[in-house]
Structures are given as C-alpha cells and as structure tokens.
Amino acid sequence: MTLSIDDVKQIADLAYIKVDEDEAKAALAKLSDIFKLIETMQAVDTTGVTPMSHAQDLVQRLREDRVNESDQRELYQSIAPQVEAGLYLVPKVIE
Amino acid sequence: MLNDSLKQLAKRLAEKEVSSVELTTEFLKRINQLNPKYNAFITVDDEKSLEQARAADRKIAAGEAGPLTGIPVAQKDIFCTQGWLTTCGSKMLSNFVSPYDAGVIERFNAAGAVNVGKTNMDEFAMGSSNENSYYGPVKNPWGINAVPGGSSGGSACAVAARMAPAATGTDTGGSIRQPAAFCGISGIKPTYGTVSRYGMIAFASSLDQGGPMAKSAEDLALMLNVMTGFDARDSTSLQREAEDYTRDLEKPLLGLRIGLPKEYFAEGMHSDVEKAIEQALDEYRRLGAETLEVSLPNSPLSIPVYYVLAPAEASSNLSRFDGVRYGYRTEYYEDLRDMYRKTRGEGFGPEVKRRILIGTYVLSHGYYDAYYIQAQKVRRLIAQDFKQAFTQCDVIMGPTAPSVAFDLGEKSSDPVQMYLSDIYTSAASLAGLPGMSVPVGFGEKNRPVGLHIIGNYFSEASMLNAAHQYQQVTDWHQKMPGL
C-alpha cells in the first residue's frame, strides 16, 4: 500500500485535525514507514481465527435502573471554555 | 531515609521517629532541588501535599494507619486528581484542573498516602522515551543524556532519583516496564482489569492498565494492595476477591519453572543486556528454579498488531478532545468544524496526531478488514502462544527492552525504531497478562538493565515472589544513581 499526500490530508480531515502542507508531507514519510511495519502481519494465515477484541471474556454488567449519580453540572461546566445558562457554547451551526 | 523501603518508612512513621509532614517535606525538598534538572514532575504543590501529610499524621496518631498512610507517592499525570492540574502531558489538557478523582487516586487517598506531585509523561501515554511530552523530556538519573523510557518516564525518574519512594504508572504496550528497566527500578503492570481505569485518561482501552513503580517487589506488592479492586465505574473492572499481594513473597523458589522464549533470546537483544539477563537467570538457578525453552512464535508480530489496535482505539478515545467541554480551545475560528480542526491541530503533538491518523485510516471503509480485523485475529494467536507456553512453565522471563536506555534524540525522528523498543513488552499487553520489570545489573555506559517477568493471568503474587527472592540475594534494586 502506498499513501499519497492527498490520502494524508483526507485522513486528517476525517479525524478533524488541521494539518498544513509541511505537516502533511512530514506525516506522509513517517506514516509510510509505519505502514511498512504494520503490513508484516498481513502475510499471517488467520483463516478460522476469531478476532480478539479484548483481553478478558466479559459481558457488560447490568444494574438496577435507578439514579446513582448526582447533578454536577456547575462543577463540570466551571472548566469549560464557554458556557451560558448551563449550556456549552459553540459557534453557530444553523443559519 | 531516601533509600528506605515502604515498610521501613511505615515503621518510622508508626514509631513516631518521623512524621508524615517531615517525610513529605524531605521528599518535596528533594523534588524542588532535582526537578529543574530532571523534569520528572509537571505539577508540584507543596501546600496540597502537606495538607494530606497533616491529615495522615492525625490518622497515625489516632491509630488508624494502614501500610501506606503518610507515605509520599508520585502520581502519573494521566490520573485525574481533583483540584490538581491533570495534563496527560498534552497542550490539549494544559489548563485542565480535574473536577474529580480517578478510582486509583481515591484509593490512595483512602489509604492516607500523600500525593507529592504529578509526573511527566509522553503525551497521552504515546511514546517510549518521554520525548513526546508537551512539558519537555524527562532525563534519566543514570545518565543526563539518556531517555528515562516512556510513557511513565517521569514516575520512573522520580523513583530512581529518590524524589518519591513510589509512584504510579500506566502501561498500554510497555509504559510501566520499559521505563522501569531504563531507570533501574521495579514496576508491574497487573492483569488487565484489576486496576480501575475510571479517571485514568484513556489511550487504548482494551490495553490500558495502571500499576505501581517502586524500588522493590515488596514495595510493589504493598502498592498493588491499595491500587487494585473492583470499580463499577469502569466497565472492564473485574469483580474478584481482594488479594494480599505480599502473601507469597517469602516462598522459596525451589522447583519454579522459568520459561525462556527462544524468540526473545534471538537477534535484536544487545550483548550487554544479554549478559545481565544471563547472570540473573544463573541467580535464579542457584535459588532452585529451573529454566526451559518455550516458544512464542507469533510474538514478533506484536508490534505491528499493537500499532494497528492501539491507534485504532486511540483515534476513537481522543475524539472527545474537541474544545467544547474542557481543555484547550483554539483562539480564532470561523465555524464549528474549523474550531474542531484547529483545536485538535494545535492541541495535539506530532506523535499523537500520527497515531490518530493511523487509527482513523485502519478503521476506515475498505481497510477495516485488512488491518483492524486481521490485527485482532493475530492478537488471538499471540494470546494463544502464551496459553501454550504456560502449560510448560510457571513464569516467563527475558529482557524488558532490547537495549539499555538510548540517548535523547537518538530515535525521536524515527517512529518505527522507537516503537521497536517495546518489542518484548507489547505481546503481554495484547494478551492482557501481567508483566513486570526488575533491575538486574548494568550495561553500556553504566545504564540499568531490566529483567522482564511475565506471569499467567492473576499470578501477580507469584511473580512478586520470584522478584522478591531475587532481590533478597542481590542488591541491584538498592543502587542509587550519583546525582
């Protein structure tokens, strides 16, 4: 697999990370090396192997449906960049 | 006192030979004296620490002391700590004063331990040299030009330089064990699921695990007794009976079967490391253990697998840093999308961005099966290798890292070379197995060598036993760098 500079820009776009031309170029060289390393695992025959997503075989715990957290809105919003009337402020998204 | 074990410090406190305030003051003095040179701490707050020390002294006076009451412990800056700046080594969280405590911090607080500061680390725990910190690199106390390892490099340095008797770390692919090896201290990553991840800033959730870093196995056992336990707020926390990790320390090692993976004793290991490891294994044989060859045929694939799975999980976990609810927000932006992109472009460092890009790519349409699913399949093969090996042996031993600590700047421009320094540690992480590193001598340039001990699931007490018995007949763990 060969990555192009446009691939890097597109991935960065998907990840919502702004990269300038120089950064994209630098990233391209390094990412290409990393993918060379990664691709060494692709030759392994994994027919019939179940993917392992987790180190422990766990099922999600269930609990009674009752309130167990108290309201901490003020505390949590005290460290937000911009809040108003209990709401987080972001730039306008709807005209 | 600087070289005292946790038990010795607790004894001094119990016998009123020293108060927690005096002890804490002593270590804070050392931190304030040495930190400008070593950069092991991001945040030190004497007043907050002393307040905890005063509370500990009251607890001791009231006869309510536990084994860690009044003892200074340095906390990796990945653990959210109420009222403390908690940066995770990133510009993104450079203004984040945590409104709550991580599960691990709550446990240390309940035990009466004194937080002596938040330690430096690779940004979001991504790195093997501590050079990826927004707050600058940490220096290795055994050589000012050497890296301390990473990502828990600040914690390793703090313990090695005796700025704290013990510290916490986290390990995703080797981040406790490799810095422990590089700095000549002991560190253990317990079985996945035993230490709460609540409030431990997430990197790769299926791999991240907290654990202690200290001078000796005995100290690690005491730290684990406090750190482990069920936490309902972590969905992968295991519901198990509480263990006393010190219970097997004194057992003789007669008949212990030590598996030596032939893949670990192959090309790649530097000769100075090999020499120290062989000497340590000789010591184990003298202690009555037997060694045998085992095979982990898929372990050479652990680095490629790790660098698919960990970035994939990271790209998802780190999507929460958007400049809306907490942390850094860019100054100038046109619209919401622009704000997200600039905030993340400016807030993350180069290595974190690289890993997010890798993760985004391997999870994207058309590549998911070839990379992500394939990596998960090979992960199972790696885990099965260990299962097979543990039918033949009780513990696995080998080098923690292929070389002693490398120089600052030596690998920072070549990510692949940097990644390969976790070649021996990442397989156990992928399998979720416990792994530890103990100091077993010195290699090139008088830099420490670590012995890697991997155990079966939940066999921490036996691993600590194996390490403790070795430390009873050797004194590498007591060596202090001349600072």
B76 is catalytic: yes
Rounded to 5°, angle at Cα B449 from B447 and B453: 160
Catalytic residue of the set B5, B49, B152, B175: B175
A56 and B322: CB-CB below 8 Å?
no
- CA–chain centroid gap for B421, Å, is 15
Residue ranges of domains in chain B, CATH in brackets: 6-253 (3.90.1300.10)
Selection from B237, B241, B152 nearest residue B192 by Cα:
B237
Give the model's confidence band at B365: pLDDT under 50 very low, under 70 low, under 90 confident, else very high. Answer: confident
Q: For position A69, what pLDDT does the model report?
A: 86
Residue A1 has pLDDT above 70, yes or no: no
How many angstroms separate the CA atoms of A79 and B291, rounded? Answer: 55
Residues 6+ apart with CB under 8 A from B303: A37, B419, B420, B422, B423, B426
Give the model's confidence band at B229: pLDDT under 50 very low, under 70 low, under 90 confident, else very high. Answer: very high
pLDDT tens profile B393-430:
999 999 999 999 999 999 999 999 999 999 999 999 99
- CA–chain centroid gap for A72, Å, is 26
When the pLDDT of each residue in chain B is averaged and rounded to a whole number, the result is 97
CB-CB neighbors (< 8 A) of A14 in chain B: 360, 364
Give the model's confidence band at B348: pLDDT under 50 very low, under 70 low, under 90 confident, else very high. Answer: very high
| Nearest residue, CB atoms, B344 vs list A8, A16, A53 | A16
Q: For position A60, what pLDDT does the model report?
A: 82
Residue B179 has pLDDT above 70, yes or no: yes
> Higher confidence at residue A63 or residue B193?
B193
CB-CB neighbors (< 8 A) of B383 in chain A: 52, 55
In this prediction, residues A46-53 reach a mean pLDDT of 95
Q: For position B455, what pLDDT does the model report?
A: 98
How many angstroms separate the CA atoms of B111 and B117, rounded? Answer: 17
Please list the residues that pair with B143 across neighbouring strands.
Answer: B140
CB-CB neighbors (< 8 A) of B85 in chain A: none
Chain B nearest-CA residue for A24: B354
pLDDT tens profile B420-459:
999 999 999 999 999 999 999 999 999 999 999 999 999 9
Give the model's confidence band at B80: pLDDT under 50 very low, under 70 low, under 90 confident, else very high. Answer: very high
B416 and A33: CB-CB below 8 Å?
yes
- CA–chain centroid gap for B13, Å, is 27
Q: For position B55, what pLDDT does the model report?
A: 98
Residues 6+ apart with CB under 8 A from A64: none
Contacts 24+ apart (CB under 8 A), B334-337: B334/A91, B335/A91, B335/A92, B335/A93, B336/A90, B336/A91, B336/A92, B336/A93, B337/A16
Residue A95 has pLDDT above 90, yes or no: no
Q: How many CB atoms lie within 10 A of CB B18?
A: 15
Confirm if B153 and B130 have CB atoms less than 8 A apart: yes
Any chain B CB within 8 A of the CB of A59? no
Any chain B CB within 8 A of the CB of A49? yes
Catalytic residue of the set B151, B216, B429, B462: B151
Confirm if A31 and B307 have CB atoms less than 8 A apart: no
| Residue count (chain A) | 95
Residue appearing with tokens 């030759």: A43
How many angstroms separate the CA atoms of B399 and B100, rounded? Answer: 38
Confirm if B440 and B279 have CB atoms less than 8 A apart: yes
B341 and A17: CB-CB below 8 Å?
yes
Catalytic residue of the set B19, B20, B49, B76: B76
Evaluate if pTM is beyond 0.90.
yes
Residue B188 has pLDDT above 70, yes or no: yes
Cα-Cα end-to-end distance for chain B: 16
Residue B237 has pLDDT above 70, yes or no: yes
CA distance B306 to chain A (A): 9
pLDDT tens profile B27-60:
999 999 999 999 999 999 999 999 999 999 999 9
Residue appearing with tokens 């490391």: B273
Give the model's confidence band at B117: pLDDT under 50 very low, under 70 low, under 90 confident, else very high. Answer: very high
Residue appearing with tokens 């990269």: A19
pLDDT tens profile B244-269:
999 999 999 999 999 999 999 988 99
φ, ψ for residue B306, nearest 5 deg: -60, -40
How many angstroms separate the CA atoms of B356 and B254, rounded? Answer: 48
Interface ipTM: 0.95
Rounded to 5°, angle at Cα B94 from B89 and B100: 90
B206 is catalytic: no
CB-CB neighbors (< 8 A) of A69 in chain B: none
Domain boundaries, chain A: 5-41
